[in-house]
Each structure stands twice: as C-alpha cells, then as structure tokens.
Structure 1
Amino acid sequence: MTGLIDWDAAFENGAHIPGGSEYPGRWQALAADYRATAHARFDLPYGPGGRERFDLFLPDGAPKGLAVFVHGGYWKAFDKSTWSHLAQGAVARGWAMALPSYTLAPEATLAQMTAQIARAVAAARAEVPGPVRLAGHSAGGHLVARMLCADQPDLAERAVSISGLHDLRPLLHTKMNDILCLTPDMAQAESPALQPQRPGTHLTVWVGGHERPEFLRQSALMREAWPGTRLVVDGDFHHFNVISAMADPASPLTDAILQDVP
C-alpha cells in the first residue's frame, strides 16, 4: 500500500501554501523585533552541545508558570531564534516561555533530540517555579508529545502538539530520510502514536483545517491512540500560519497551551 502513496508530496508544505517561501523571513523579522524589546535571558545552557541552549522570556513580576515551545523544521532546520515572537501571548498572560534549540539531523538522531528536549525542559523548570506547559509545532509537536510518553521523565503533565507528526513510519519512504536516517525500529520507538501515554498526562492536538491531508491524519490519529486527547481543527489555517495565534494572549491557541481546557 505504501507504494501507492507519494510520501514526499504528502509531507511537503511550502509548495502547497501561497507565498510559502516568504514565511521564514517573516518569522525571523518578527522574532528579531520582539527580542529587541523583550525581558529575556538568552542562550542559557542545558547541556554541553553547541545547540543545547534555550532563551527564556519573562513577564513583568513573578511568572505564573513556565511554557516551553519547541520549534519545527522536520528535525533538520531552524533554531530557537526564528520563533521568539511566539512567546508574546504567554508572556502577556504572565507566564515565562522557554524556547530551546536542539541538535539537528543528521548530526543527531530523533532519540537524541527527544533526550535533549527532556533536558531542556528540566533546565527551564529549574529557572521558573510553578506549573509547566509544553507546546511544539510540526517536528516540535512530535517532540512535546514524546515528553508525555511513558518512557520519558515526569517533567510536564500537559502539552499541545500543533500540526505535529506522531506516526513516523511513513517518513521511511521519503527522500528526507536520507537526512533523518530513521530505521523501522527507530520510527516505531519515536512515534508517540505507537507508544503508551504516561498516566496523568493530557495532550491537545491542534491542526489547521487547510493543512495537508497527512497532517490532518497524524493529528486525528493521536485522539485514537491516546484516549482523552483533545483534537482541534482550526478553521482555514495552514501549516505555516496556524502558529501565529501564539503571539496573541487572547487566542484560543494560547489558552489551550496555558490552560489546556478539555
């Protein structure tokens, strides 16, 4: 059956979004503008690797808690500095937000990235007392969902996977696997949809209504795999603009990240 599906096309986003190539530059400009005025601490280490650093954006006064946002890029692109502006919604609501970088493929395996994000969350928790909320986009959605799997340390109880990837087996049939270097065993072990959920945790999967069919499938799959998972299909948004609402303190997405109302 896999031979009947063009998996490269299934996971391709930019070519199906009008002006898709313009988004990275737009994100970087918005992020730079926010960093210039934000109350923040930059490049805090969580490990010895060159990319094992996180930025911590802080509200005025004592934070209500800690939100952590893990960026996407198919585990092979971007870093924390492209997404700083997405901290605005949480910070305006009185929360601190940490944005970690992590080592990208092919220098790191997905299992190594998962371990890095666990270390990043633990290091950020040490800086900010109170409840912890996780959010991630695309590949970052995969990584925050992994934090709620039973094989991971108990660092957070709630996460929002935005346009996340939860079943990695189809990636074995893509050209990008030349970079990711997934094997069937690795794809199985690193797929949240194929792993047990840690008891007491809650996942929200959030996906744009105009995303590629595979991303809609990947999101719906988690509701079936983990009972109690909340699925939100967000209107007319696509893979590149569905995350923009994080910058708005009043948006339903920001509320889902900080409060995760079932």
Structure 2
Amino acid sequence: MPDTLTMAFFAAAIPAVMLVGLSKGGIGGAFGLLGVPIMSLAVEPVQAAAIFLPILIVMDMVALWSWRNFNDRKTLLIILPGGVIGIALGWATSAYVSDSALRLVIATVTILFTLRYFWQVYGSHSNRQIAPLPHRPVAATFWGALSGYASFVAHAGGPPFQIYVLPMRLDPKSYTGASIRFFAIVNAVKVVPYLMLGALDRQNLTMSATLLPVALLSTIAGAAVVKHLKAETFYPMTYGLALIAGLKLLWDGLPF
C-alpha cells in the first residue's frame, strides 16, 4: 500500500477495531456494527468485511477465554442451527440479495423491538413486571437464521440475536457467554464460504494481522467492564445499544 493509503487505512481501521473489540468483550452489538462502515472510509466495504473476519475470529478466542465460565447452554443449542442455516443462505444468495434491503428489514424490526421494551419499562405501565419469555424453537430458528445471514453479508448479526434472546432476561453473564459462543461459531463457519468467494487473500490477511494488538486489548477491556455491570444496568444499556444499532442499519440501508 502507498504511504497515503496506509495512513488513511489505519486512521479508520484502528477506531473501527477498537469499537468492535469492546462489542466482542460484551459491551454491546451496536459498537460492533460500526466497524465495517468506519473501515469502509478507507477501503471498499467488501474488502473491509474480509479484513474484519480474521480479526473477529481472534477476538472471539479472547472473548471465549474471558467468558469461559459463563454460558446458557440451552439458548446456544436452540438458536445455533438457525445461525448455520442463515450462513448457508447468505453464501447461496450473495449475488442476488441487496445488502441495503436486508439492513432496512433488520433495522425496522430492531427499532420497534427496542422501543417496545422502553415503553413497557418506562411508559405508562412501567410499574407492571415484564415476565421473561420461554424458549420458542420456531422463533429461535427464524431469528438465528436471520442473524447468521446478516452476519455473513455485513457482520451485522447482533440485532436479530438480541431480538430472540433479550426478552428471556437471562443473567447478564449467561447472556454474554451464550452470545459470544454463538458468534464465535458463526464466524468460524463463515471462513469456508469467504475462502470460496476469494475474499481472504494475502493482502487482506496482512492488513488483519497488523490490527490484532488493537483487537486483543479492546476485547479484554470490554469483558472487564461488562463483568461488573448489574442486571438493572446491563439490560437498559443493551437495549439502548440495540436501538442505536437499528438506527445505524436504517441509515446504511436508506437509498441516498
């Protein structure tokens, strides 16, 4: 890369990786959605997504170690098959489905989902206790597939995962552990179709490697923060970040 491109690339890539690392550490998916758009200020969006995939996998390894003692096994097992289905659909239809259309659909559902939560908690009926939802296999497959699909095409699988899991009101540590395991598996599965599409070439892998120290430090920092949050802080914060994520996806998907 020429020096000017190198400077522009790192000026965009370092903050992008820091935000994704904080998200991977458990702070919230909204930060993670900012990664590819910010890096796209310096490189093409497709190349930005390819550069991010190896970084995400390394972040996953750090996050898995940080959260190795926390998980909700039933949640992970019930939503994971849908995630794999979504990746397969993303690979099979990558040449036919508009990324913008997918962003608009996910954004609309996520915004309505988060606004409903804030109305229930802080609106006129805020004194009423909201009962946690049970597992719903059909819903888990649907939202898991949408999460896997969005993750494949845009590394944006967080909001659909949250739509299914957050209403169950798991313990924050169990929720984060299950989320990290889900996306670690999803990102690992994505490697094969990305290789088949020729996205993981030597240049992109070299760029990924130069950003790994930033990725590691920011992921560890994110995990350290979340482990000290109580449920009454964690859930409003996570829903708020999901709302920001929905608004960001809406902005990205609008035709202008």
TM-score tier, shorter chain, comes to under 0.3
Higher RCO by CA contacts (8 Å cutoff, separation 6 or greater)? 2
Structure ranking higher in helix proportion: 2
In the superposition, the TM-score normalised over structure 1's length comes to: 0.25
Structure ranking higher in strand proportion: 1
